[in-house]
A and B are shown apart, each in its own frame.
Chain A
Amino acid sequence: MTAETETPAAPAAEFGRARLRKEDERLITGQTNWTDNIRLPGMLHVAFLRSPYAHARITSVNVSAARSEPGVIAAYSGADFAAEQGSLPCAWPVTPDIVIPAHPPMAVDEVRYVGEAVACVVARDRYAAADALAAIEIDYEPLPPVLDIRTALQDDSPKVHEAGNKSFVWPFAQGDMDAAFSDAPVVLERYYRQQRLIPAAMEPRSVVCSCVGGEFTLWSATQIPHVLRVMLALVTGIPEQNLRVIAPDVGGGFGSKLQVTAEEVLAVLIARKLGRPVKWTETRSEGCMTVHHGRDQWQKITIAADADGRIRGLDVDLLADMGAYLMLVTPGIPLLGAFMYPAIYKMDAYSFKCTGVFTTKMPTDAYRGAGRPEATFAIERIMDDLAAELALDPLELRERNWIKHEEFPYTTVAGLTYDSGNYEAATAKAKELFDYDGLRLEQRRRRTNNDPVQLGIGVSTFTEMCGLAPSRVLGSLAYGAGGWEQASIRMLPTGKVEVVTGSSAHGQGHETAWSQIVADQLGVPFEDIRVLHGDTQVSPKGMDTYGSRSLAVGGMALVSACDKVVEKARVIAAATLEASADDLEWVPGRFEVRGDPDKRVTIAEIALAAFAAHNLPDGVEPTIDADATYDPDNFSFPHGTHLCAAEVDTETGFVTIRSYVCVDDIGTVVNPLIVEGQVHGGLAQGIAQALYEEAVYDDEGNLVTSTLADYLVPSAADLPSYVTGRTESRAANRLGVKGVGEAGTIASTPAVVNAIIDALRPYGVSDVTMPCTPERVWRALQTAQGKQTGSAAEQHAARQSDQTQGNSPQGSDGGEA
């Protein structure tokens, strides 16, 4: 079941231990260093004026009146930055002919989404800055908005950019599609809607920038201090060595802080203009409008199968809403899903096409899972439909198609080589924890009794590619950077250890987990280790945190660096013990002379000897510190079986999750406490997509869901308790780890929707568009039963969904490119 692995890492006293987190002390006592807490002498506050139009020409801007408001130091329009602001970067030009429009941080002559910055005020405090925005005079000539990607490519559609509304078409095909589909006994075609989501990290974005003598320090609530530094240098022309970026404590990201934002660039430019430190902290409504959104795709998926359910081929045709511009990795997000539609299943042929389309909305980009939740949703939804079509149990259908545990490593039709997995084991354990057979019995009973509250069982047997990523693969996909990670180990003279990581945590618990890994590798106490991260001056190299990469890539960099420390220490130990280096045995924490274990020297003693450097052999440098950079050979492939039991009230449409069981195989586990927390949080976000959340724009392109009163991030009262379990197949790296940050989000959305549909199939309902609100569920039931419905609210729901029942959108162009 496991591919050939490298030599396992050192034996584990800490590995697998549920250590309480080192990070918590400052977080539970209010001593946290959020960016918005930073106050520098003479610091000014910035407020932005933002476009009220989805699409308009700016005909005039006059900021002079704002400049004379009380407490105001400066006010600027886009024209004031035009010569120096450059264009916000897109680092993932997915095709050679991709259209990447210029993206000025502050709009100069045209705005293309509501919320785009058009002017700003710099004042003594945040209240004065906000007040003075009212004194800015600005005139617009409205232009037609472009809001629906299904019609945006028609000839008569208004254009977002002069070059048109198509950004790119990215195709992929493998195998003989004609042979797979031509005489297939079963072919199903479905359209699914991935609604637009707002990531909504609890900490709003915040930026502080100081400029002293041409040297810039930028504090930002970012996931990517290292990438941000490079990009700021490229965008602004400020020499990279004069830029220091610090991510202090960061309050969640979920992909939304994997970005180079307009406000970060403008903070640098304003600090340079004024020679004073500046701060900008967004309000939540600004954040809802202008932090990049997630998802927003129409998916057409077609599956061909034999009569016994064996999959022959799969065809996927995506329309992906880019929004108004391409941001850091906008066009690459749907392609991260391209390789995941075949999921855990064997098939003969697969084709995929994605068309990236511009609209006059906030750009989309990475949001937890990034492309993989969309793919998993579509394949797991259609697998349930295929099971229903063939009158098979949905788990039975999956088992007929999935890769057997003895077949690993297995190269999928999409060209990925899955190193390890055991779908049978995870599914068996999940069924047991869930009482699958018992719940099926209850479901039959409720159906027989015509119970107004029906029970549905939803299945999702997911996998994902994570541990982003092998640099060569990223290069082949035209991504603008590598996928390695960096670590440094500094052995201090007192025997304590500083661990420097390029992975930039924002809630994941690296300070704890990294201490555990290094404690095992070097045989030093957990308490003696301090982990440093998130500051380009302290940790100069790194690729940061996203894509469930920190442990699978950054953790491996730690192991490599520790290896180097041990090898350097061996030379000094040999001299100290007057033995041959070959005769020394490394027992984590010390070297012993083979056959004479009383002759030993500890790593702390070696660190002190290196520091004193009094008796080092000739040519040996006086340090055992080491750096390592790790570039993975492959992605990692967590998987799992998620089962959801949902009660659906057929009279009100209200859905209650009665139980949720997930069994995840994420490889080996450093800290089960942290892992369980990651799974819980992931589940909550995936369930929220299924039931609650949607970023809604009105017909003029205004964001309707611009506060947390309208955008329904669920509370404790809205979510169930979760039952989690694990199975374990080692990944083919020395730690055996796969990654866990996105698993829950990727798996849970289809499990919930499949449960709702499973409850309602006897009523003729085969789809409900997300989020499955009571109204949408109720209306799907009414429509399926031929009843007329028609409240005003439905007009909106219908516009958003176009498919409360059945699978064909009303517009015949839906899903077509």
Chain B
Amino acid sequence: MAEVTVSVDGVKYSDHVEPRLLLVHYLRDVVGKTGTPVGCDTSNCGACTVLLNGASVKSCAVLAVQADGGEVTTIEGMATDAGLHPLQQAFHEEHALQCGYCTPGMIMAASDLLRENPHPSDGEIREGLEGNLCRCTGYENIVRAVRRAAQAGASA
């Protein structure tokens, strides 16, 4: 067992885990953060995307021990007392989700995209989210939502 100390959505956790434990299973099964789902086992779908030290990672492709000493932000840490994150609000307003299974990862990936490129073109949004699969929306409204969030200053 290895000790891992990690901050998740602003709360510090310290646990003994198997060295092979995936970060996503640490978040879901140990910390209880089930807002981050698992969609595949080959890091193709992006449903499990979280921010690790500010950058997006697919948490099924990171070991929990690799996050030791780091800060993780999941979808559950995006809203604040002031309300929804602009990306959450934009996904709602643009109907950018249907079943919602890809949504946590899509929002986390989009937040990293806007951090790097606060005002992306539609093409840049599409390229930037190509690591996140959605089976319901056909992506049109996801592109609109990210564009709307960018206009609302989501990168700030």
Contact A713 B135 (CB under 8 A): yes
Give the complex CA separation of A284 and B74 in angstroms.
22
Please tell me if the beta carbons of B101 and A722 are within 8 angstroms of each other in the complex: no
For A28, the chain B residues whose CB sits under 8 A away are 75, 84, 88, 91-92, 97, 100, 103, 107
Tell me whether A82 is interfacial, beta carbon within 8 Å: no
CB distance from A31 to the nearest CB of B (A): 7
Establish whether residues A251 and B138, one from each chain, have CB atoms under 8 Å apart when the complex forms: no
B130, A251: Cβ atoms under 8 Å? no
Contact code string A560-599 (vs B, CB < 8 Å = 1, else 0): 0000000000000000000000000000000000000000
B82 within 8 A of A: no
Distance in angstroms between the alpha carbons of A677 and B137 in the assembled complex = 6
Please name all residues of chain A whose beta carbon is closer than 8 Å to the beta carbon of B41 when the two chains form the complex: 283-285, 707
- Chain B 9-30 interface 0/1 with A at a Cβ cutoff of 8 Å (1 = within): 0000000001011000100110
CA distance A506 to B127 in the complex (A): 28
CA distance A718 to B79 in the complex (A): 31
A254 close to B (CB within 8 Å): yes
Distance in angstroms between the alpha carbons of A677 and B40 in the assembled complex: 24
Q: Are B35 and A200 in contact, CB atoms less than 8 angstroms apart?
A: no
Q: Is the CB of A251 within 8 A of B35?
A: no
Determine the chain A residues whose CB is within 8 A of the CB of B21 once the complex forms. 127
Task: Report A416 CB to chain B, min CB distance, Å.
Answer: 29
Could you mark each residue 130-156 of chain A with 1 if its beta carbon is under 8 Å from any beta carbon of chain B, else 0? 000000000000000000000000000
Find out whether the CB atom of A202 lies under 8 angstroms from the CB atom of B127. Answer: no
**Do A284 and B42 form a contact, CB below 8 Å, given A29-B88, A715-B129, A717-B127?**
yes
A444 to B81, CA, bound (A): 60
Compute how far the CA of A254 lies from the CA of B137 in the bound complex, rounded to whole angstroms.
Answer: 12
Contact check, B129 vs A202: say whether CB atoms are below 8 A apart: no
A716 pairs with B34, CB closer than 8 A: no
CB of B78 within 8 A of CB of A29, answer yes
What are the interface flags for B76-100 relative to A under an 8 Å C-beta threshold, 1 for contact and 0 otherwise? Answer: 1011000010001001110101111
Question: What A residues does B143 contact at CB under 8 A?
Answer: 716, 721
Contact residues in A for B25 (Cβ distance below 8 Å): 126
Q: How many Å lie between the Cα of A683 and that of B136 in the bound state?
A: 10
B34 A37 Cβ-Cβ under 8 A: yes
CB <8 Å contact, A507 and B136: yes
A798 within 8 A of partner (CB)? no
How many whole Å from B94's CB to the nearest CB in chain A? Answer: 9
Contact between chains at A30 and B126 (CB < 8 Å): no
Task: Please choose the segment from A18-26, A230-238, A515-523 that sits at the chain B interface, where 4 or more of its residues have CB less than 8 A away.
Answer: A18-26
> In the bound complex, do residue A30 and residue B104 qualify as a contact, i.e. CB atoms below 8 Å apart?
yes
Say yes or no: is A485 at the interface (Cβ < 8 Å to chain B): no
Q: Which of A30, A680, A715 contacts B35 (CB 8 A)?
A: A30
Q: Are A27 and B97 touching (Cβ within 8 A)? A: yes
**Are the C-beta atoms of A680 and B137 separated by less than 8 Å?**
yes
**Which residue of chain A has its CB nearest to the CB of B140?**
A680
Check B76–A30 contact: CB distance below 8 A: yes
Which of B38, B95, B126, B139 touches A676 (beta carbons < 8 Å)? B95
Q: Which residue of A lies closest to B108 (CB)?
A: A30
Q: How many Å lie between the Cα of A700 and that of B155 in the bound state?
A: 51
Q: Which residue of B lies closest to A512 (CB)?
A: B95
Are B103 and A27 in contact (CB-based, < 8 A)?
Answer: yes
Whether A23 and B39, one on each chain, are in contact in the complex, defined by CB atoms closer than 8 angstroms, is no
Q: A164-207, CB under 8 A of B: which get 1 and which 0?
A: 00000000000000000000000000000000000011111000
A251 near B101 (CB under 8 angstroms)? yes
User: How far does the Cβ of A68 sit from chain B's closest Cβ, in whole Å?
Assistant: 20
Indicate if A627 sits at the interface (CB-CB under 8 A).
no
A251 x B139 contact (CB < 8 A): no
Q: Does A731 contact B (CB under 8 A)?
A: no
User: Contact partner of B38 among A36, A200, A201, CB < 8 A?
Assistant: A36
CB distance from B10 to the nearest CB of A (A): 14
Query: When chains A and B are docked, how far (Å) is the Cα of A719 from the Cα of B29?
Result: 35
- Using an 8 Å CB-CB cutoff, how does the interface string of A36-56 with B read, 1 for contact, 0 for none? 110000000000000000000
Q: Does B62 contact A (CB under 8 A)?
A: no
Q: Contact at B98–A249, with CB atoms within 8 Å?
A: no
| Range class of the B interface residue count | 35 or more
Cα–Cα, bound, A722→B140 (Å): 7
B76 to chain A, nearest CB (A): 4
Contact with B along A306-328 (1 / 0, CB 8 A): 00000000000000000000000
The answer to whether A27 and B133 have CB atoms under 8 Å apart is: no
**Are B36 and A30 neighbours in the complex by a CB distance under 8 Å?**
yes
Please indicate the chain A residues that have their CB under 8 angstroms from the CB of B129 in the complex. Answer: 715-717
Interface residues as binary, B125-156 with A (CB distance below 8 Å gives 1, 0 otherwise):
11101111111111111110000000000000
Shortest distance from the beta carbon of B135 to any chain A beta carbon, whole Å: 5
| B98:A509 contact, CB within 8 angstroms | yes
**Inter-subunit contact A506/B99 (CB<8 Å):** yes
Cβ of B122 < 8 Å from any Cβ of A?
A: yes
Interface flag for B102 (CB, 8 Å): yes
Chain B neighbourhood of A620, CB < 8 A? none
- Once A28-B84, A717-B126 are accepted as A-B contacts, the answer to whether A708 and B101 lie under 8 Å apart by CB is no
Q: Mark A662-686, 1 if CB is under 8 A from B, else 0.
A: 0000000000011011101111110
Tell me if B6 is interfacial: C-beta within 8 Å of chain A: no
Closest chain A CB from B139 CB (angstroms): 4
Partner of B135 from A200, A283, A744 at Cβ < 8 Å: A200
A283 surroundings in chain B (CB, below 8 A): 41
A436 at the interface (CB under 8 A from B): no
Alpha-carbon gap, A25 to B83, bound state (A): 11
Q: Are A716's CB and B99's CB within 8 A?
A: no
Given A252-B101, A708-B44, A716-B126, check contact A29 B37 (CB 8 Å).
no
Least distance between B78 CB and chain A CB atoms (Å): 7
On A, residues with C-beta under 8 Å from B are: 20-21, 23-32, 34, 36-37, 125-127, 200-204, 249-252, 254, 281, 283-285, 506-509, 673-674, 676-678, 680-685, 707-709, 713, 715-719, 721-722, 744
Q: Residues of B with Cβ closer than 8 Å to A? A: 18, 20-21, 25, 28-29, 33-42, 44-45, 47, 74-76, 78-79, 84, 88, 91-93, 95, 97-104, 107, 122, 125-127, 129-143
**Apart from A28-B103, A30-B34, A32-B37, what are 14 other A-B pairs with CB-CB below 8 Å?**
A27-B97, A30-B104, A32-B35, A37-B28, A127-B18, A202-B47, A202-B99, A203-B99, A677-B137, A684-B135, A707-B42, A715-B133, A716-B132, A721-B143
Interface CB pairs A-B, < 8 A, 26: A20-B93, A21-B92, A28-B97, A29-B75, A29-B78, A30-B35, A30-B36, A31-B76, A125-B29, A127-B18, A201-B101, A203-B101, A249-B100, A250-B99, A284-B39, A284-B45, A507-B100, A680-B137, A681-B136, A684-B138, A685-B138, A715-B131, A716-B139, A716-B142, A717-B127, A722-B138
Cβ-closest 9 pairs across A and B: A30-B35, A507-B99, A27-B100, A251-B101, A684-B138, A680-B138, A284-B40, A708-B44, A30-B75
